[in-house]
Amino acid sequence: MVELRDDFERKFKTLRVSLINTCNLGCVYCTCGTEDLKENHLLTQEKGISAHELSAIISNLHNTLQLETVRFTGGEPLLYKDLLKIVSSVKQLGINDLKITTNGLLLENIAADLASAGITSMNVSLDAIDEDIFYKVSRRSGIHRILRGIDKAIESGIDVKINSVVMKGLNEDQVLPLLNFAFSRNLRIRFLEIMAMGHLFGQSEKHFFSQDEILSLINTRYEFTRQLRKNSSTANYWKTEEGHIFGIVANESEPFCGDCNRLRLDSLGNIYGCLSSNFPISVRNVQKDEELTEKLQVAMWQKQTVKFTGSSLSMLNIGG
């Protein structure tokens, strides 16, 4: 084991694994929006490496870094055919903090199995409660399937959080309805400022809705106080007078790069030290500890020191 850290004392303790670069939604902040999202427009799982090889890479990274948390992402990870197998294999490594980020469309029928495999926490992406607005953002229907999936995950004992990307001109009027939905189930919700990734790189201003604007909307209904930010947290949190918690991931308004501890692994066996980096570092077929450490050091150098700058890399490939 090496204690890999940079001049800012940042370490890699959380691994985000993008299992698959396919998704069953077509959210406008993730895909271009000009296409009809037919099957031949989507990358498929067959282009990725096997679950066995992916598990081996995660094991090697853990042996080197002593990871504390693994989060499974995509694309949409529930589309990954060996999801339960890979979750169980990572659990067997001794990593107990296993999380997943999903859009929830397929959640209802797999939530209990995810809990049994070792998933303890889940972020469900939900950008609207109103079906019509949900369709405008995701270009798909099925919000009631997602809501049933959330309830099933709660029943299965998984700690569920809601993630909502807020886009000016599209869904800012859903902030309060989403907040009320989360509070009605005693769930934490986090609102996300839009990220300059993929086709939005260099042109995210059109739909940018800031942390201050989100807070102003919430303040029309709730009184709240700010909570102390935890080290390496991506979100700022507030507590309402009623005792409910909500957060904002303000990657533009209030960057959190300074103590980021996340490493990203994509479905092709490449690592990235930062979402802002376009340069994949392959860790496939790495046998020597020294070689892996060298590659991890390169990934560490990718980290930003001040703020998130964005990238032309699509979220479909690297996850959030």
Averages of pLDDT over each 10 residues, the chain, 320 residues: 60 92 83 45 56 95 95 94 97 97 97 98 97 93 95 98 95 97 96 69 69 97 92 85 94 73 91 82 90 92 66 59
Beta strand pairing call for 14-18 and 69-73? parallel
Both tokens of residue 238?
């507030």
pLDDT attached to residue 273: 86
Instruction: Give residue-wise pLDDT tens across range 175-230.
Output: 999 999 999 999 999 999 887 554 554 455 677 899 999 999 999 999 999 998 88
> What pairs with residue 248 in β-bridges?
191, 236
Domain boundaries, the chain: 14-167+259-318
Is residue 95 within a helix (H) or strand (E), and if so which, with residue range? none
Sheet holding 281-282: strands in order across? 224-226, 236-240, 245-249, 188-193, 159-166, 119-125, 97-102, 69-73, 14-18, 262-265, 270-272, 281-282
pLDDT value, residue 5? 63
End-to-end CA distance of the chain: 27
Tokens representing residue 249 in the block: 């991931």
CATH superfamily of 14-167+259-318: Aldolase class I (3.20.20.70)
Dihedral of alpha carbons 268, 273, 278, 281, sign: negative
Question: Which residues, including other chains, have CB under 8 Å from residue 162's CB and lie 6 or more apart?
Answer: 123, 124, 126, 150, 178, 181, 182, 187, 188, 189, 190
Q: Write the single-letter amino acid at 211.
A: Q
Exposure letters 168-180 (e unless 16+ CB within 10 A, then b): eebbbebbeebbe
Helix H or strand E encompassing 125: strand 119-125
Give 203's DSSP letter: -
Tell me the two tokens of residue 290.
């020294």
247 prior amide bond cis, ω within 30: no
pLDDT at 43: 39
- The answer to whether the pTM exceeds 0.75 is yes
Angstrom distances, CA of residue 254 to CA of 89, 211, 251:
36, 8, 6
